[in-house]
Amino acid sequence: MSRFQKARHRDRLRTVDSVITTLKAGLDSVQQNCYVLEKVIARTPKESEMTPKDKYWIFDKKAKGYRKSAHRQPKWTKLTNRVPPAHF
């Protein structure tokens, strides 16, 4: 990935993080909770907590080394690939 693609990718990750934070704050203000939102918060790391390997590379069982560049995946800007399988 080029440095410009990486920058846009980081911006998209940060935008998703801010939307999740806003939703959580809104639900907390009216003393409500959402099970699905809590599950998303528990499972997915924030952009700042992710390693570059997890940001820019995704798991692929057919690739050598089991990783391929994120932009090689179809619709890579629309999908969330924040959590790789265990041991990868």
Antiparallel, parallel or unpaired: β 57-59 and 67-69: antiparallel
* pTM confidence score: 0.79
The reported pLDDT for the residue numbered 83 is 72
Question: Residues with Cβ < 8 Å from 34, sequence gap 6 or more?
Answer: 23, 27
- Residue 79's pLDDT band (boundaries 50, 70, 90)? confident
Which H or E run contains 67? strand 67-69
Answer for the pair 58, 84: CB distance below 8 angstroms, yes or no: yes
